Amino acid sequence: MLDRAHNRPALPPEIARRRTFAIISHPDAGKTTLTEKFLLYGGAIQMAGQVRAKGEARRTRSDFMQMEKDRGISVSASAMSFDFETFRFNLVDTPGHSDFSEDTYRTLTAVDAAIMVIDGAKGVESQTQKLFEVCRLRDLPILTFCNKMDREARDTFEIIDEIQENLAIDVTPASWPIGQGRDFLGCYDILRDRLELMDRADRNKVAETVRLDGLDDPKMADHIPPAMLAQLREEVEMARELMPAFDRQALLDGTLTPIWFGSAINSFGVRELMDGIGRYGPEPQPQKAEPRQIAPEEEKVTGFVFKVQANMDPKHRDRVAFVRMASGHFKRGMKLTHVRSKKPMAISNPVLFLASDRELAEEAWAGDIMGIPNHGQLRIGDTLTEGEALRVAGIPSFAPELLQNCRAGDPMKAKHLDKALMQFAEEGAAKVFRPMLGSGFIVGVVGALQFEVLASRIELEYGLPVRFEPSQFTSARWVSGPADATDRFVQANKGHIARDNDDDIVYLTRLQWDIDRVARDHPDVRLTATKEMM
Ligand code: G4P
């Protein structure tokens, strides 16, 4: 486990003020609305409509096509940087569709914290739970926002209990709601001893703040009817007895999540949450790498690619590699070493996703997300350094759970299909296997929706209609081991062998029995369901 905050040296101020995070939620809980409000408070108001366009666009397949047309928008929304108070926030978008994909997992390797948004009436939903589990694998600090308190919501204690029980994490209230639904007045800010009052008349209005001197402050009665005030005092007292107090170290260790209540659409509770992210959220953290960990304060620049997006502009076939800066102070024009190929790369036109536009990045610090346009040299998992042979670890590639054969609608165009599929494989959108015997491709994905999305994109971006058909195989495993043993294995199983887009050997099968048999007959050969990208 990474050591967060304990015994860490003070970071240079430009790095210390950065907060790099993602939002995790179940569809419809309010992620898009919350993002819009973040940007509103972050001074990037013109962006708000664009995020909305994306939020709506991703819901169905036909809308997905529209999103593809508006790809510029979806891409700039993949990483957004904005200032709030003295902080620089880098918000990395997790893919929207509900099919869990490894893209999501990799996005979460690029952030230092996650904001979990839940709907006050629905509590912890399936997708929240899945994404939470991924965060837990990395002990990511999590801050929780309970949204839609302006509607009928569950009882506050019940919501907190559900999070504690379903997700096995301690919860501490950072604020406490006063009433709910039609009677929702606002929140008592437990961490700062303030009353925040929601203005129902104006959705974009910042809440009125009343500074207090404890829960018994007589000013409370000027704003809250007696019965509700009595209830608030009783509930907060009970909460203080029953729930752990806020503890920053526990938050940073990923064992405690503070929860804020609010209503994103009414801009309520959002500033308090942002303030919490700034004040208590983690600074850029050390990055696991081989042969040594990278610390953000190191003077030399390092970064790693966690996402590749291709065909942002179909006319140019350019790609943007999204790079999380792991250390140092990057300046435009720097020459970095592309560790995988050992080649130098001049980074002359990097992009920061500030406010509404892609802007040329003159500089970037550890914690920032930078886009590097390239022609395919940069792949997911690649590390960039000032010369040292470091490789960032822990960016996995999972064996696909669904396999299908892919054929070009027009056999004359099979070559183009090769190119298209390779590109999607490099983007991490699918696994593409070339069988050792016979022709054609086998494409593997994690969620069924991805086949449809791929077919649409191949047609849209390459003008190439394709067919996906059932494959005789259902599982894929990467093959490793001593060269002579793997050779023997490959020769004995030609009909089951393929190569992936990195030219690594893959064993395709439909039976667990086959996999067990390999373990018996070829003890030196290892079959694995994940491989680390490097
Ligand atoms: P998502 O990105 O997590 O999928 O959620 P999104 O922000 O798109 O919000 C889902 C729906 O919930 C939207 O309604 C949005 O307006 C609504 N919503 C978000 N925050 C709040 C809130 O604090 N209170 C209430 N009452 N509703 C909220 P929609 O009808 O799907 O879209 P729209 O017609 O409002 O755009």
Q: Measured from the CB, is residue 151 less than 6 Å from ligand 1?
A: yes
Specify the pLDDT at position 358. Answer: 59
Q: Measured from the CB, is residue 37 less than 6 Å from ligand 1?
A: no
Name 173's bridge partners: 259
Tell me whether residue 94 is annotated as binding. Answer: yes
Q: Determine the distance separating the centroid of ligand 1 and the alpha carbon of 221, expressed in angstroms.
A: 32
Tell me whether residue 438 is annotated as binding. Answer: no
Q: What is the DSSP letter of 218?
A: G
Specify the pLDDT at position 244. Answer: 96
What ligand 1 atom has the least distance to the C-alpha of 27?
4
Closest CA to 271 of 179, 329, 187: 187
Q: What is the DSSP letter of 36?
A: H
Confidence of residue 70 (pLDDT cuts 50, 70, 90): very low
Alpha-carbon distance of 420 to 83, in angstroms, equals: 38
Q: Whose CA is nearest to atom 4 of ligand 1?
A: 28
Handedness of CA 107, 109, 114, 119 (dihedral sign): positive
> DSSP letter string over 106-168?
HHHHS-SEEEEEEETTTBS-HHHHHHHHHHHHTT--EEEEEE-TTS----HHHHHHHHHHHH-
Q: Whose CA is nearest to atom 16 of ligand 1?
A: 265
Alpha-carbon distance of 129 to 356, in angstroms, equals: 31
Angle 509-513-515 (CA atoms, 0-180°, nearest 5)?
55
**pLDDT of 370 higher than 90:** yes
Q: What is the CA radius of gyration of the chain?
A: 25
For residue range 466-484, what is the model confidence (pLDDT) as tens digits?
999 999 999 999 999 999 9
Task: Considering only residues 100 and 162, tell me which one the structure prediction assigns the higher pLDDT.
Answer: 162
Sheet of 142-147: strands edge to edge? 79-84, 87-92, 18-25, 113-119, 142-147, 256-261, 170-173
Q: Determine the distance separating the centroid of ligand 1 and the alpha carbon of 302, expressed in angstroms.
A: 39
Question: The tokens of 2 are what?
Answer: 């990474």
The runs of H, that is alpha helices, within 13-118 are 13-16, 31-41, 48-57, 61-69, 71-76, 102-109
Q: Whose CA is nearest to atom 14 of ligand 1?
A: 28
Q: Measured from the CB, is residue 150 less than 6 Å from ligand 1?
A: yes
No. of helices (H) and no. of strands (E), the chain:
15, 33
H or E element at residue 83 = strand 79-84
Specify the pLDDT at position 450. Answer: 80
Q: Measured from the CB, is residue 263 less than 6 Å from ligand 1?
A: yes
Q: Determine the distance separating the centroid of ligand 1 and the alpha carbon of 420, expressed in angstroms.
A: 36
**pLDDT of 455 higher than 60:** yes
Confidence of residue 63 (pLDDT cuts 50, 70, 90): very low
For residue range 271-288, what is the model confidence (pLDDT) as tens digits?
999 999 999 999 999 999
Mutate to test the pocket of ligand 1, among 265, 267, 268 (most ligand atoms within 8 A of CB): 265
Alpha-carbon distance of 527 to 207, in angstroms, equals: 57
Q: Whose CA is nearest to atom 30 of ligand 1?
A: 28
For residue range 418-431, what is the model confidence (pLDDT) as tens digits?
889 988 888 887 89
Q: Measured from the CB, is residue 55 less than 6 Å from ligand 1?
A: yes
Q: Determine the distance separating the centroid of ligand 1 and the alpha carbon of 265, expressed in angstroms.
A: 7
Residue 274's φ and ψ, nearest 5 degrees, are -60, -40
Specify the pLDDT at position 68. Answer: 42
Q: Measured from the CB, is residue 148 less than 6 Å from ligand 1?
A: yes
Q: Whose CA is nearest to atom 26 of ligand 1?
A: 148
Task: Considering only residues 131 and 243, tell me which one the structure prediction assigns the higher pLDDT.
Answer: 243
Q: Determine the distance separating the centroid of ligand 1 and the alpha carbon of 28, expressed in angstroms.
A: 6
Alpha-carbon distance of 301 to 324, in angstroms, equals: 11
Tell me whether residue 107 is annotated as binding. Answer: no
Alpha-carbon distance of 308 to 372, in angstroms, equals: 9
**pLDDT of 170 higher than 90:** yes
Report strand pairing: 441-445 vs 466-470: unpaired
Task: Please state, as a whole number, how many other Cβ atoms lie within 10 Å of the Cβ of residue 61.
Answer: 12
Q: Determine the distance separating the centroid of ligand 1 and the alpha carbon of 235, expressed in angstroms.
A: 28
Tell me whether residue 148 is annotated as binding. Answer: yes
3-class DSSP state for residue 29? coil
**pLDDT of 301 higher than 90:** yes
Alpha-carbon distance of 189 to 521, in angstroms, equals: 64
What ipTM is given for this predicted complex?
0.97
Q: Determine the distance separating the centroid of ligand 1 and the alpha carbon of 264, expressed in angstroms.
A: 8
**pLDDT of 93 higher than 90:** no
Q: Which residues neighbour 151 within 8 Å (Cβ) at sequence distance 6 or greater? A: 120, 121, 180, 181
For the chain, the average pLDDT equals 86
Cα separation of the two ends of the chain: 21
pLDDT > 90: what percent of the chain? 60
What ligand 1 atom has the least distance to the C-alpha of 262?
23
Q: Determine the distance separating the centroid of ligand 1 and the alpha carbon of 526, expressed in angstroms.
A: 48
Confidence of residue 445 (pLDDT cuts 50, 70, 90): confident
Ordered by where they begin, the domains of the chain are 13-185+245-280 (3.40.50.300), 289-392 (3.40.50.300), 396-532 (3.30.70.3280)
Distances (CA, A) of 338 to 222, 306, 323, 345, 388: 63, 14, 12, 6, 10
Question: Average pLDDT in the 374-391 region?
Answer: 93
Specify the pLDDT at position 400. Answer: 84
Question: Average pLDDT in the 232-236 region?
Answer: 97
Tell me whether residue 25 is annotated as binding. Answer: yes
